[in-house]
Structure 1
Amino acid sequence: MHRLTYPHGPDRFIELFDPTAVADETVGTISAIEHPTERSVRVSVRPNSRWNGFVAGQYVEFAMEIDGRRHRRMFSPAQSQHANGALEFTMSVNPDGVLTRHIQQSARVGDLVVLGDVSGDFHLPQARPERVVLISAGSGITPVMSMLRTLIDEQYGGEIDFIHYCRSASDALYAAELEQQEGALPGLRMHCVYTREGGVHFNAEQLAQLVPNYHHAQTFVCGPAALLEATRTLFDEQGISERLHQEAFGLATPAAGEDETGGEIHFKRSDRSADNNGQTLLEQAEQAGLNPEHGCRMGVCFACSCTKTAGRVRDLRTGEISSAGEEDIQICVSAPLGTVSLDI
């Protein structure tokens, strides 16, 4: 084989036909690109042989090279865990985000994607419960869509209530499929709530009306912070918090208090300073012309970890306030309280 491919090795010859075949990491090729709504993009990615699968509900690190730099985010595959072939990722496009905007505007079939580790505790238990409630809002539908498709493939014999919230029918990412799946299983019931077309956001009365027996179900919720907080409060009040499983796809940015703005952000290694405007430290570093390492922008991948040398920060996931001393923090989920110094 080496003689046939001289002066290059056989890997170089194979790479001309399939660049994923000789990759030393899990990569995939974009095989299809769709635009289900004005604010979203859907890509199908065919992974190479290093892909080991996932469990419905988990997320995977998704990366692409853009202008010479690798940009990473975490996305949940939306297909059944039993499906073979391409992985399906449906993403809301962030107008200020590099990766999703690139995929929407510039990505092409044949482009390469790097697939990192599969992670996450938000998934169906191996022993399927008798009753399942799936609740999502916006692009938070993808992990629970994977759960639904997986249960359909397994011909699940229990009860499923699927509740999805979005602004309007034109914003619903899987409206047609959800409607078609209504009769896919005897115990499956669909509830699409359009909040700008007469529907209301999640509340206790609505859940009791749609799913009277939710107290006895295992409930899986993915969506923005407001939905997670509302469901967590309800399940805590009902004393059934152990039946609630949640995954966030974004961060809540709390209204800044008197101690959260003002002061300065000092970037010590870069010898730069900027007035604290209350945004995350990653955003303020970028506004200051810096380009710190980062990935998911959600506090999941730890790519943005750095040392805070002085000052206090608030963790936007938990609301916790740090000490004023030196410690490692994730700048994508940390908002400064007054003056803060970073080793960037």
Structure 2
Amino acid sequence: MVSLTPLRHTPLRHAPLASIRRRARSPLAVLEALATPHGLDRYLELVNPMLTVRELRAEVTGVRRTAGPSVTLTLRPTRQWRGFAAGQFVTIAVDIDGVRRSRCYSPACSEHRADGQLELTVKAHPDGVVSNWLYANATPGLVVGLSQADGVFALPTPRPERVLLISGGSGVTPVMSMLRTLVDEGHAGEIVFLHYGNTEADVAYLPELRAIAAAHANVRLVLGYTAQAAGGDLHGLFDETHLADAAPWYAEAPAYLCGPPPLMAAVRDQYAAKGIEDLLHTEEFLAAPLAVPDADATGAVRFGDTLVENNGATLLEQAEDAGLSPAYGCRMGICFSCTQVKKSGCTKNVLTGDVHTDPDTEIQLCISVPVGDVDIDL
């Protein structure tokens, strides 16, 4: 006879719901795993470059070239785009001679643009690799890499009763966005748009600026020409009298400034002299020359397999001098595109003067100089 032993009933042990969710993989995650090592977007772009899962991109839908030389691009972002606040910047990436290059540009359109597209006006600077390439090669249908908007150069909420917008040259784009945004919002407060150009022919958006001022009694356009004696409202380089003429109330209202380094410095000095620097908000679009003490230019810098003698320039410049092509977007420490790991050594931040000695830390190549021997993971 076989004796049967009753089975002991053991309660079922249920895994926590969070654990089940961690183990479960979404269909998208499964597809991306199958696409390894290239990623799903690498395959989708073979069908349609604008069909992406993760990457934010944009298609050029309009191109307009003007004197200067400058090119105005209209861009349609992919579905990942989250919009922007007037004054912020985006990073555009393009492939040039097989190398991915990225640069920062400020949208010039209103943040309330009805079709959701972006407008960028890019001036082709003499040494600008990306700006010159876009001016020469951008056509409708071109697909570029695009970042989400970033930056703190933006109008406050609620909007101020009075606002002074100051720009020079191609620094007009972020403040143009602010002006268009305020107009779209039906802002009734006083707006002064003070712009500097060498001559009238150098003023971007001039017909539209004049049309806005003519159509809105609360908008005053003030043009300053630095190399043209006739026409315009102001002449010569910026000084305090220009502020007093353009906006007599400037010491009591916020101002937003973007332009070339000499203009930026002159306006900052004036606001500091008046003790009202807290009212001035600025955005750089060109890097000012960085002064690096010669005494710090000792030792050698290693970029991966490349070893160079330290010449005192920024790490970005030294890497480029060595024939390397590290990523960067602004050269001013704003966008963090050039961030790399410093494996060892001492570096100095040329903007703040701070010295960093800890190993295995992230630094920005464009605003860091080596102090003695430095090893960069590049």
TM-score category (smaller protein): 0.7 to 0.9
Q: Which AA in structure 1 matches 2:213?
A: E
Q: Deviations over 1:86-111 (max 9, x none)?
A: 31001122333322121111222101
What is the Cα-based RMSD across aligned positions, in Å? Answer: 2.7
Residue 318 of structure 2 aligns to a residue whose secondary structure is: helix
- Alpha-carbon distance in 2 for matches of 1:226, 1:324: 33
CA contact (8 A) 2:347 2:374 kept: no
The answer to whether the 8 A contact 2:81-2:148 is kept is no
Superposed CA offset, 1:100-127 (max 9, x none): 1211112221010222121111111120
Note the C-alpha offset of 1:247.
Answer: 1.0
2:164, 2:191 within 8 Å by CA — same for their partners in 1?
A: yes
Distance apart, 1:269 and its partner CA = 2.4
Distance in 2 (CA, whole Å) between partners of 1:116 and 1:91 is 17
Paired AA for residue 181 in structure 2: T
CA positional deviation for 1:265: 4.3
Task: Give me the whole-angstrom Cα distance separating, in 2, the residues matched to 1:314 and 1:53.
Answer: 32
Is 1:96 matched up with 2:127? yes
* 1:193-235 Cα deviation digits (max 9, x unpaired): 1211142222222211221111122111112333333323322
Distance in 2, matches of 1:251 and 1:308, equals 27
Tell me if 1:224 matches 2:260: yes
Specify the code of the residue in structure 2 equivalent to 1:322.
V
Aligned length, in residue pairs: 329
**2:328 maps to which of 291, 294, 298:** 294
Q: Distance in 2 between matches of 1:53 and 1:109?
A: 21
- Match 2:62 to one of 6, 15, 32: 32
* Equivalent pair of 2:103/2:328 in contact (CA under 8 Å): no
Per the alignment, in what secondary structure is the counterpart of residue 205 of structure 1?
A: helix
Listed one character per residue, the Cα deviations across residues 23-59 of structure 1 (whole Å, up to 9, x for unaligned) are 5322211111222223322111112222221111111
- Give per-residue Cα distances to partners, 1:120-176, cap 9 Å, x unaligned: 111111201110100011111101000001111122111111111122222222222
Give the TM-score normalised by structure 2. 0.78
1:68 equivalenced with 2:102 (yes/no)? no
1:323 shift after superposition: 4.9
Unaligned stretches of 5+ residues in structure 2: 1-40, 230-234
- Pairwise mapping of residues 262-281 of structure 1 onto structure 2 (< 5 A)? 263=298, 265-274=300-309, 276=311, 278-281=312-315
Work out which of the residue numbers 117, 139, 143 in structure 2 matches 1:112.
Answer: 143
SS of the residue corresponding to residue 143 of structure 1 reads: helix
Q: 1:238 is matched with which residue?
A: 274
Q: Does 1:121 align with 2:156?
A: no
- State the secondary structure of the residue aligned to 2:141: coil
SS at match of 2:149: strand
Residue 6 of structure 1 is matched in structure 2 by: none
- Picking from 190, 196, 207, the partner of 2:227 is 196
Q: Report which of the two structures shows the higher radius of gyration computed on alpha carbons.
A: 2
Structure 1 vs Structure 2: percent identity of aligned residues?
39
Q: Residue 250 of structure 1 corresponds to which residue in structure 2?
A: 286
Shift of 1:336: 4.9
**Of the candidates 179, 183, 190, which is equivalent to residue 159 of structure 1?**
190
1:194, 1:206 → 2: CA distance?
A: 12
Match of 1:332 in 2: 366
| Aligned residue identity for 1:138 | G
AA in 2 matched with 1:51 = W
SS in 2 for 1:118: coil
